[in-house]
């Protein structure tokens, strides 16, 4: 890190990577993108920030990374006040934006050299640091190839390395694996874990709830510019209140039948007062502490009412269920996951991702 006149003013803050107090952002056109966000993220945490499209995630990240001024509230990052010491903050963070920052005219090594210059990494340290980062993200073998031939996954890995050249103690990753195939995504997860194991605090936004579940120590869910839930992934799943019974109704049944099936299950009163019974595209989704023990009774009640059932499954809640319960929306992960299984933008003469 370059020397700066601005120093963290409060020792307590040094243990706290991010402290946002009632953060607000209203854009010039009047859009209240962030209404009130308060977050305290200790050093070393792997923190996930989730929310439906347009909830205010990127706006919050931009304020924390001092790329945008808040219109209300206070922010301290790495012990520096965002309103007074934006340069010091920028020098002490890495930021991987949704869009790639790779310069395709340059090789992987040249991209990293350029980032070293931009961040003021001392000349004598640059070569070793670049080699170490190329190794970390498995790009050493293609270090001197022009990055225009890299696959999407390779460019993302180069983006990760670029965000780390100045060894920042805090890294922001804004949807870092969107659009990647599962293999490329898994590789990136390894690097993120490795960086976090070395002590780097990570602030991640993602639309893949499995990603948040696999990587994050703690999560916050934002909806309409406000935090609506915070907790460890397991804690949030427990809040769903039981297990999930998915029931698939026969193809011949339509939406009205699903409503009728839900009414039959409610009337049968088998699952306790706190159960939720919702029609879905396939049939019914039931959340209940008795989902396992009373599941077959539910199926019998449906059969007795003349409703055809073609399949059922009892399972533990996932973060998708949490997300749906909290925000009433899905992340759109299904569509994206389908896209993500497609090849990763192959281009003519592409360098292999292996």
**59/177 with CB nearer ligand ATP:** 59
Closest separation between CB of residue 88 and ligand ATP, Å? 24
Q: Long-range contacts of range 30-38, CB-CB < 8 Å, 24 or more positions apart?
A: 32/225, 33/59, 33/225, 34/59, 34/60, 34/63, 34/70, 34/225, 35/224, 35/225, 35/226, 36/73, 36/225, 36/226, 36/227, 37/73, 37/222, 37/225, 37/226, 37/227, 38/73, 38/227
- Kindly tell me which of 54 and 120 has the beta carbon lying closer to ligand ATP: 54
Residue entry with tokens 């990753």: 173
CB nearer ligand ATP, residue 31 or residue 293: 31
Please list, residue by residue across 145-181, b when 16 or more beta carbons sit within 10 angstroms of its beta carbon and e when fewer do: eebbebbbbbbbbbbbbbbbbbbbbbbbbbbbbbbbb
| Closest to ligand ATP by CB, 55 or 244 | 55
If one asks whether residue 332 binds ligand ATP (CB under 6 A), the answer comes out as no
Which is nearer to ligand ATP, 259 or 336 (by Cβ)? 336
Which of 16, 59, 178, 253 is close enough to bind ligand ATP by CB under 6 A?
Answer: 59
Q: Are 194 and 201 in contact (CB under 8 A)?
A: no
Least gap, CB of 264 to ligand ATP (angstroms): 38
Beta carbon of residue 148, minimum distance to ligand ATP (angstroms, whole number): 26
Give least dist CB 183 to ligand ATP, A. 24
Rule CB under 6 A: choose which of 8, 51, 94, 168 binds ligand ATP. Answer: 51
Residue with tokens 């994206």: 336
Q: The tokens of 65 are what?
A: 């990374």
Which CB sits closer to ligand ATP, 147 or 327? 327
Number of residues that bind ligand ATP (CB under 6 A): 12
**Angle 315-320-322 from CA coordinates, rounded to 5°:** 85
Quote the tokens at residue 325.
Answer: 């319960």
Q: Examine residue 48 and tell whether it contacts ligand ATP (CB under 6 A).
A: no
Whether the CB-CB separation of 337 and 271 falls below 8 Å is answered with no
Q: How far is the CB of 299 from ligand ATP (least distance, A)?
A: 39
Q: In whole angstroms, how close is the CB of 180 to ligand ATP at the nearest point?
A: 16
Q: Is 54 in the site for ligand ATP (CB under 6 A)?
A: yes
Cα 353 to Cα 235: distance, rounded to the nearest angstrom:
37
Smallest separation, CB 341 to ligand ATP (Å):
21
Residues 67-96, interacting with ligand ATP (CB under 6 A): none
Token pair for residue 312?
């059922």
Interface with ligand ATP, residue 53, by CB under 6 A: yes
Interface with ligand ATP in residues 16-45 (CB under 6 A): 27, 29, 31, 33
Backbone CA torsion sign across 106, 108, 114, 118: positive
| Rounded Cα gap, residues 258 and 264, in angstroms | 10
Q: Which region, judged by CB under 6 A, interacts with ligand ATP, from 50-58, 163-171, 256-264, 284-292?
A: 50-58
Closest contact distance (angstroms) between CB of 17 and ligand ATP is 20
Binding positions for ligand ATP, rule: CB under 6 A: 27, 29, 31, 33, 51, 53-59
């Amino acid at each position: 890190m370059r020397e700066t006149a601005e120093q963290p003013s409060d020792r307590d803050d040094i243990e706290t990577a991010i402290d946002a107090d009632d953060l607000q952002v209203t854009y010039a056109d009047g859009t209240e993108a962030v209404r009130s966000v308060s977050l305290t993220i200790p050093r070393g945490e792997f923190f996930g920030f989730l929310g439906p499209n347009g909830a205010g995630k990127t706006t919050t990240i931009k304020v924390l990374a001092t790329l945008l001024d808040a219109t209300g509230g206070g922010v301290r990052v790495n012990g520096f006040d965002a309103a007074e010491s934006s340069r010091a903050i920028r020098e002490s963070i890495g930021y991987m934006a949704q869009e790639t920052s790779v310069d395709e005219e340059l090789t992987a090594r040249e991209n990293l050299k350029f980032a070293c210059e931009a961040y003021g990494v001392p000349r004598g340290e640059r070569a070793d640091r670049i080699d170490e980062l190329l190794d970390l993200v498995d790009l050493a073998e293609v270090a001197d190839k022009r990055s225009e031939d890299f696959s999407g996954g390779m460019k993302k890995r180069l983006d990760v390395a670029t965000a780390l050249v100045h060894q920042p103690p805090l890294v922001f990753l804004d949807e870092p694996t969107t659009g990647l195939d599962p293999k490329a995504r898994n590789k990136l997860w390894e690097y993120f874990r490795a960086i976090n194991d070395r002590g780097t605090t990570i602030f991640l936004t993602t639309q893949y709830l499995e990603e948040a579940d696999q990587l994050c120590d703690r999560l916050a869910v934002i909806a309409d510019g406000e935090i609506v839930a915070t907790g460890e992934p397991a804690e949030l799943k427990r809040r769903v209140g039981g297990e999930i019974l998915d029931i698939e109704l026969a193809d011949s049944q339509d939406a009205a039948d699903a409503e009728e099936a839900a009414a039959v299950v409610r009337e049968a009163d088998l699952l306790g007062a706190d159960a939720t019974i919702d029609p879905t595209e396939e049939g019914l989704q039931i959340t209940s502490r008795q989902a396992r023990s009373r599941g077959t009774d539910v199926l019998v009640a449906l059969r007795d009412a003349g409703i055809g059932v073609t399949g059922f499954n009892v399972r533990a809640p996932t973060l998708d269920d949490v997300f749906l319960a909290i925000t009433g929306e899905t992340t759109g992960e299904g569509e994206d996951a389908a896209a993500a299984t497609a090849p990763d933008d192959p281009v003519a003469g592409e360098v292999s991702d292996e």
